[in-house]
Structures are given as C-alpha cells and as structure tokens.
A and B are shown apart, each in its own frame.
Chain A
Amino acid sequence: SQTIHQWPATLVQPVGSPLSLECTVEGTSNPNLYWYRQAAGRGLQLLFYSVGIGQISSEVPQNLSASRPQDRQFILSSKKLLLSDSGFYLCAWSVRARGPDTQYFGPGTRLTVL
C-alpha cells in the first residue's frame, strides 16, 4: 500500500532563515506530487505540483520554491522566510489515470515563522 511521509512535523523558524520541507511517497511509481499551504483561515492553496523528476509547476508567485530530485521525493524550500510563510504545509500525491487523479495527503508540517 502507498504511504506518504512529511518531515518535520513542526518547525519554528526566525524570519530570514532558510527552509526545507521534505515529502516522500512509498509504494507507487511516477506519482504526481503537490504542495499545499493552509493558512489560519482554513483555505487550502495549491503552491506547486510536479508530474515528474525535475518538472515543477508553480501556482502562486511567492517566496517559496520546490524541487523533485527523485521520483518519489518532493522538497519545498525558501532562502529567506517571511512572517507570511507561517502555516500548515501539506504534501499530496496522486496516480495519473483516465479521469481525475484522487489526491492523497500526508500528515503535514506546521511552520511558525517568528
């Protein structure tokens, strides 16, 4: 069966510090991968998605970047964090199929920028 891991689970970082969040998927090959951010107001915002190694699509211009160095690894990064980067970051995966991909989410990383 497939599982998705995210780490760290929680993170407190000062403004201006770098960020690296990691997401890995097990039990499937060539998944689509996604990064979402959930702010305090509960809305989910798609940040990046990837359909393959090295292929990243950005949905919202921002202070963050994403990379996919391996098939089942997705990394969210920042060179300098802003206060507004605080939130709950969720990684998701899906398998391409005819019709919609159902996205399955990881446990999330709660980031607080002080």
Chain B
Amino acid sequence: AQKVTQAQTEISVVEKEDVTLDCVYETRDTTYYLFWYKQPPSGELVFLIRRNSFDEQNEISGRYSWNFQKSTSSFNFTITASQVVDSAVYFCALSEANYGGATNKLIFGTGTLLAVQP
C-alpha cells in the first residue's frame, strides 16, 4: 500500500534560519511521482513541485530546494533563509503512475506546520 509519512508535526524557526521538512514514502510501484504543496493560513493548497521516480536530481527554485533520495525513500524540502511568509502547513504527496488511465490519486502525508517567527 502507498503511504506518506511526515514525522514532523510542527516546526518553529526564527526568520533567516534554514529549515528542512522531511517526507518519507512507501510504494511498491517502480514508477511514481512525488509532490509538495503549501497551505497558507488562507487554506488554499498551492502546488510547489512534482518529481518522478526516475529523476533523482535535486532541484532548486529560489530559496526552495528538494532532495530526492530513492535509496531512503525520502523527498525532503529545504527552505533557505526562511521568512515569515513561509509560515504554512506543507504537505508531501505520492501518486502512482498514470498509464493513460482515468486519473491518478494523490496520497497525502499529514502535513508539517512551519511557523517562522520574526
């Protein structure tokens, strides 16, 4: 069965600190996809990144970076020089491959609440 674990329930940092959000997944599929979403206090889930299981290159987007390691089934998310606006709940999600089927389903972790203090 597919499963996503975000062991960190809440993290509190002071502005400008770096912070890493952990995500560990379980799947029997050889092809799968991983996602990160941000949920600010307004409630809307904002898509951040999608990664497929064949691409283990780390990705950087501004202050955000993602470390995908198949060997440890992890897809961790690092925010460098955190800012108050980064305060939100962050969700990691897993999806099986969509071989032209109807759709793919997202399996979400329980989320990590990040609080960035000024």
CB-contacts of A10-29 with B (<8 A): none
Query: B64 contacts the other chain (Cβ, under 8 Å)?
Result: no
**Cβ–Cβ contact B98 & A88, under 8 A:** no
**Chain B residue at minimum C-beta to C-beta distance from A102:** B50
How far is the CB of A91 from the nearest CB of chain B, in Å? Answer: 10
**Chain B residue at minimum C-beta to C-beta distance from A108:** B43
Given contacts A32-B103, A43-B110, whether A101 and B43 have CB atoms under 8 Å apart is no
Chain A contributes a number of interface residues (CB within 8 A of B) equal to 28
**Cβ–Cβ contact B45 & A105, under 8 A:** yes
**Cβ–Cβ contact B89 & A42, under 8 A:** yes
Q: How far is the CA of A102 from the CA of B95 in the complex (A)?
A: 10
Interface residues of B (CB under 8 A from A): 33, 35, 37, 42-47, 50, 52, 89, 91, 95, 97-98, 100, 102-106, 108, 110-111, 113
Interface residues of A (CB under 8 A from B): 32, 41-44, 46, 49, 51, 57, 59, 88, 90, 92, 94, 96-108, 110
